[in-house]
Amino acid sequence: MEYYSSHISNLIEQLSRLPGIGVKSAQRLAFHIMNLPKEEVNLLASSMTQAREKIQYCKSCFTLTDEEFCPICRNLRRDQNQIMVVENPRDLAAYEKTGKYEGVYHVLHGAISPMLGIGPDEIRLKELMQRLQSQEVQEVIIATNSSLEGETTAMYISKLVKPTGIKVTRIASGVPVGGDLEYIDEVTLLRALEGRVEL
């Protein structure tokens, strides 16, 4: 039995497709949106549309940006000789919150997962290797999650990079196994960075 009009039901259905949003949360969000002034709803809708249209991948590190290069890659004070490899832009943001890492990043947009059919060609590994050939890099810090997929990806990257002579390190295990970097506090992230080990 339908409780709501088709427009409200459709809004709830679309919101419930977002990650971490169940039907009850989607209902709360839908009714909150319905109670907002029309100008605020239009602003929300246009900001989503504009973000989707304007956001692209940084040509260097592949994080999300609205320009050709992201602010980190454009920053001349960042250490271009040190690249931290992360799984997604949220992990990059988590490390940036520590305020202590001064190198640059490379965003893979995933991790190797044979169970899910995600191989090395489905993430940005080829771009990482091209980047390592085209610029002077002294260290690659692997900061993938401490999950099976993250560890598999770390070992794969290590095997690719080591023959080039570039130092390869892995963040220390201050990050709990199975934990996602985006949910870990800055102090733990900083300890993991400082206690990284060479692979």
Within this chain, do residues 140 and 171 fall inside the same structural domain, yes or no?
yes
- Read off φ and ψ for residue 61, nearest 5 degrees: -105, -15
Indicate whether 64 belongs to any domain: no
Residues 81 and 44 in one domain: no
Domain assignment of residue 28, given as a range: 6-54
The pLDDT assigned to 73 comes to 94
Percent of the chain with pLDDT over 90: 67
| Residue 137 token pair | 């890099």
**Helix (DSSP H) and strand (DSSP E) numbers for the chain:** 8, 7
Predicted pLDDT at 177: 63
> Are residues 155 and 81 located together in one domain of the fold?
yes
Separation CA 98–CA 47 (nearest Å): 28
Note the pLDDT tens digit of each residue in 81-124: 999 999 999 999 999 998 899 999 999 999 999 888 999 899 99
75: tokens are: 């920053």
Give the alpha-carbon dihedral of 160, 163, 164, 165, to 10 degrees.
Answer: 130
pLDDT at res. 197: 67
Q: Dump pLDDT digits (tens) for 19-61.
A: 999 999 999 999 999 999 999 999 999 999 999 999 999 999 9
Residues 80 and 48 in one domain: no
Residue type at 120 in one-letter notation:
P
Is pLDDT of 178 > 90? no
pLDDT of residue 31: 92
pLDDT at 1 over 60: no
88 inside domain: yes
Mean pLDDT of 182-195: 74
61 occurs within a structural domain: no
Q: Any idea what the CATH number is for the domain that residue 11 is in?
A: 1.10.8.420
Q: Are residues 144 and 97 in the same domain?
A: yes
For 67-133, the three-class secondary structure string (H helix, E strand, C coil) is CCCCHHHHCCCCEEEEEEEECCHHHHHHHHCCCCCCEEEEECCCCCEHHHCECHHHCCHHHHHHHHH
Q: How many domains does the chain have?
A: 2
* 10 and 96 housed in the same domain: no
Residue 103 sits in the same domain as residue 35: no
Is 123 among the domain residues? Answer: yes
Residue 195 in this model has a pLDDT that exceeds 80: no
15 and 44 housed in the same domain: yes
Q: Tell me: do 86 and 155 sit in the same domain.
A: yes
Q: Flag whether 68 is in a domain.
A: no
The reply to whether 114 and 176 lie within a common domain is: yes
In a domain, 174, yes or no: yes
Of 143 and 134, the one with more pLDDT: 143
Q: Is 167 found in the same domain as 78?
A: yes
Residue 93 pLDDT: 93
Cβ within 8 Å of residue 35, ≥6 positions away: none
Quick check: is 62 in a domain? no
**For the segment 137-149, what is each residue's pLDDT rounded down to a tens digit?**
999 999 998 888 8
CATH number at residue 107: 3.40.1360.10
Q: How confident is the model at residue 192 (pLDDT cuts 50, 70, 90)?
A: confident
Report the amino acid identity of residue 134.
S
pLDDT at 135 over 50: yes
> Across all residues in the chain, what is the average pLDDT?
89
- Is the residue at 171 inside a domain? yes
Q: Are residues 112 and 81 in the same domain?
A: yes
In the prediction, which pLDDT does 196 show?
73
